[in-house]
């Protein structure tokens, strides 16, 4: 096997599924043999049963829907602002000089630290949840888009100017088409960040959502419900990631995304 050598898609899937199977087997051994008490770690069977009960008896589909809405809503708002700003910062160095220091500073600030302020500023409703996800996605996405655009091929830009193109024409006809596949990939990666922040957004002052269920289950020490919620977030996140990746490959078949 050579370094960086692509592998067959079927082999890739088989290897990924195999690791999941090994992880599930290890989890089962830990719980079935009593190495770890069910009080601390529910077994896979208990987790599946708990998930089924949540959906069948406690209208958990509503909580799932609220969580998905919050992730997509916060991610969408962040994308609508971050992508144009990142493009401008990457294309125009004076704009980069103005915004880049602050954006670089802000991306190190944990979004969860803003929860007390956000409750004061916007209350405990949906605006607070969306704001946390927005903060978790916006600054990272802005810098990623900026770097993608700023790394455009200089020879193509110079050729466009030589042919009489204006600044806006270079952005529309050279920078954006060349950067579009990588920007789409950046969006896919940042969507994953949204899923990592949603539970934090729902842990405080939430009346619905997967994070709300996890918090209630923690008070009751219902580890099976907690694990079921965590696994469900992983499944939904992985599904959205795969769909996003397939969409990007369909829109940009010439890209090297795998």
C-alpha span between 152 and 116 (Å, rounded): 41
Note the pLDDT tens digit of each residue in 89-140.
998 899 999 999 999 999 999 888 888 888 888 888 889 999 999 999 999 9
CA-closest candidate to residue 233, choices 203, 208, 209, 205: 209
pLDDT at 256: 52
Domain borders along the chain are 59-251
Of residues 258 and 168, more confidence is placed in 168
Average pLDDT over residues 29-45: 89
Of residues 3 and 13, more confidence is placed in 13
Number of alpha helices (DSSP H) and beta strands (DSSP E) in the chain: 11, 0
pLDDT at 254: 65
For the domain covering 59-251, report its CATH number: 1.10.3720.10
Tell me the C-alpha to C-alpha distance, in Å, between residue 174 and each of 35, 156, 158, 182: 60, 7, 10, 14
Note the pLDDT tens digit of each residue in 194-209.
998 888 888 776 788 9
Q: What is the pTM of this model?
A: 0.87
pLDDT at 255: 62
- Token pair, residue 35, equals 């190495």
Non-local CB neighbours of 106 within 8 Å, separated by 6+ positions: 139
């Amino acid at each position: 096997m050579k370094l960086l050598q692509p592998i067959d898609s079927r082999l890739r899937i088989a290897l990924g599924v195999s690791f999941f199977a090994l992880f599930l087997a290890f989890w089962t051994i830990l719980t079935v043999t009593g190495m770890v008490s069910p009080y601390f770690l529910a077994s896979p069977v208990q987790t599946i049963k708990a998930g089924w009960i949540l959906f069948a008896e406690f209208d958990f589909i509503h909580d799932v829907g609220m969580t998905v809405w919050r992730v997509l809503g916060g991610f969408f708002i962040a994308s609508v602002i971050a992508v144009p700003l990142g493009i401008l910062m990457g294309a125009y160095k004076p704009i980069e000089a103005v915004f880049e220091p602050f954006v670089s500073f802000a991306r190190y600030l944990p979004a969860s630290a803003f929860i007390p302020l956000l409750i004061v500023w916007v209350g405990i409703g949906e605006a607070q949840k969306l704001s946390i996800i927005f903060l978790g996605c916006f600054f990272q996405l802005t810098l990623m888009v900026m770097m993608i655009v700023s790394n455009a091929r200089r020879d193509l830009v110079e050729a466009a100017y030589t042919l009489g193109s204006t600044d806006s024409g270079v952005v529309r006809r050279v920078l954006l088409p060349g950067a579009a596949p990588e920007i789409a990939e950046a969006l896919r990666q940042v969507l994953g960040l949204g899923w990592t922040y949603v539970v934090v957004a729902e842990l405080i002052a939430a009346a619905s959502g997967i994070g709300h269920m996890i918090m209630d289950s923690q008070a009751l020490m219902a580890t099976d419900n907690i694990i079921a919620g965590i696994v469900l977030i992983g499944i939904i996140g992985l599904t959205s990631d795969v769909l996003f990746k397939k969409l990007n490959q369909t829109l940009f078949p010439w890209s090297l995304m795998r």
